[in-house]
Amino acid sequence: MSFVADPINFIADWLSKLLLGWGLPPDLVMVLLFIIGSGLLATVAMLWVTILIWYERKIIGRIQDRFGPNRVGPYGLFQSIADMIKIFTKEHISPDGVDWFPFTIAPIIAVGAVLAVWAVIPFSANFVGTNLSVGILFILAIGGIGEFGIVFGGWGSNNKYALLSAFRAVAQLISYETPYVICFLIPVMLSGSMNLNDIVKAQDPWFIFLAPLGALIFFITSIAEVGRTPFDLAEAESELVAGFNIEYSGLKFGMFYVGDFLHSFTISLLFAALFLGGWKGPWAEQIPVLGFVYFFIKSSAAYFLVILLRASMPRFRIDQMMDFTWKVLTPLSLTVVSMTALVDKLLPANLIWVRIGGLILLNIIIFIATDRLLDIYWKKPLFQKNNQVEDASKASSVKLGAG
């Protein structure tokens, strides 16, 4: 393989030959390569977050009809570095009475749990951190550990409001985990394996064409799993009490902040890998670097959608959020999974266009049925049963409340 076509494996080969030439045992060389590779991946991920923050601030600024950062460096590219320097030099304030172990380890878990997901994502045709046969389960398990970062942070802060906010955040996370896990099953079902590289390889038509509704539910629930607007009730930045990271300052808060953006990008990576075909594209198998470029473009497009949602939607109230997941998303995702499994077995698999058409038709039918059902049964007045408000609204003949 040449350096241009497949740089990472080329460098790995060269390094392992060098280390073996120095006389180290092959087991130790493998372990050293893993350590160097994971260290490099984690460093690149953390440095990439600075570009992500810049990207987000520029786009949100443009949506809000302003420029975004444009002072520090050309087009404001070095703004994130300036922010990093500021956060590095801030004082770590530890409030009185904190439990030091949960307080200190919470940001580490929050960032570590996100970085661990990068180990199983296939970046190109032959570059995966670890080729786990149960990669999907690993991602779900690591998400469970990530929730513990929030619990530790809220509990260790010795602050009632931080604790309440942590519990609301964890309640939101575990509620949205149900449709999230169920929609993970759709690519697993359509490709027959839990290995992410196999799922990417099996996407002859992209899975977003085979299960568009499943992709939509996955997208929505993964935004809720990250905790971004419109689901960011737990750490709403414009509220008075900033959620479970209220007592954090300095680099610990920086870690939570970085973890948030990294998690958003990680879910757009997952969305691109699971539904948008990952590294697939013209000539991606022969020239792996092209696969990496395609993957990067697709995940940036997904991340752009995430930023668009953040910039344009108001946030949900906690009871609206819970209603949405338990009453709409969970039954819908169960229906989509079971119907996709049924129809996929009935349709002939060798006629590709029949399969795509049949599954898209199924998704359209489910969507229209859900829409009609919600119209009929989702009668939720905006205000509670308060007669004065209703009389006043009737008197002023303004039609409030949903129909």
Partner 1 sequence: MSILQIIFLLAALATLFCAVKVVITTRMMHSAFWLVGALLGIAVLFAMLESRFFVVVQVLVYIGAIAILIIFAVMLTRKIMDENQQRMNQLWGLAFIPAGGVLAGLIYILSRWNAFNTTARTAPVNGEDIEALGKALVSPTGFMLPFEVSSILLLAALIGAIFVSYDRKGGGR
CA angle (274 as vertex; 373, 111 as ends), nearest 5: 100
* Candidates 78-86, 147-155, 249-257, 357-365; binding stretch for partner 1 (CB under 8 A): 147-155
Among positions 130, 131, 133, 286, the unique one binding partner 1 when judged by CB under 8 A: 133
Q: Which is nearer to partner 1, 94 or 175 (CB)?
A: 175
- Between 384 and 396, name the residue whose CB sits nearer to partner 1: 384
Q: How far apart are CA 302 and CA 347, in angstroms?
A: 30
Q: Is 148 in the site for partner 1 (CB under 8 A)?
A: yes
> How many C-beta atoms lie closer than 10 Å to residue 389's C-beta?
15
Q: Which is nearer to partner 1, 130 or 286 (CB)?
A: 130
Does residue number 134 form part of the binding site for partner 1 (CB under 8 A)?
Answer: yes
Work out whether 347 is an interface residue with partner 1 (CB under 8 A). Answer: no
Beta-carbon contacts of 337 under 8 Å, excluding residues fewer than 6 positions away, are 182, 183, 185, 186, 189, 214
Is 131 one of the binding residues for partner 1 (CB under 8 A)?
Answer: no
Tokens linked to 281: 């594209």
Tokens of 21: 């030439």
Does 163 participate in binding partner 1 (rule CB under 8 A)? yes
274 vs 121: CA distance, rounded Å? 10
Shorter beta-carbon distance to partner 1: residue 224 or 307: 224
Alpha carbons 131 and 138: distance in angstroms, whole number: 11
**Alpha-carbon gap, residue 127 to 295, rounded angstroms:** 12
Q: Binder to partner 1 among 8, 137, 241, 347 (CB under 8 A)?
A: 137
Q: Give the nearest distance from C-beta 138 to partner 1 in angstroms.
A: 6
| Closest distance to partner 1 from the beta carbon of 381 (Å) | 17
> Cβ 340 to partner 1, closest distance in Å?
18
Can residue 174 be called a binding residue for partner 1 (CB under 8 A)? yes
- Token code pair at residue 290: 């092209």
Nearest one of 115, 113, 110, 114 to 38, comparing CA atoms: 115
Encoded tokens for 314: 């108001």
Site residues for partner 1, 53-112, by CB under 8 A, read 99, 101-102
Q: How far apart (Å, rounded) are the C-alpha atoms in residues 195 and 180?
A: 17
**Which of the residues 193 through 232 are near partner 1 (CB under 8 A)?**
194
Contacting positions for partner 1 (CB under 8 A): 99, 101-102, 132-134, 137-138, 140-145, 147-148, 151-152, 155, 163, 167, 170, 174, 194
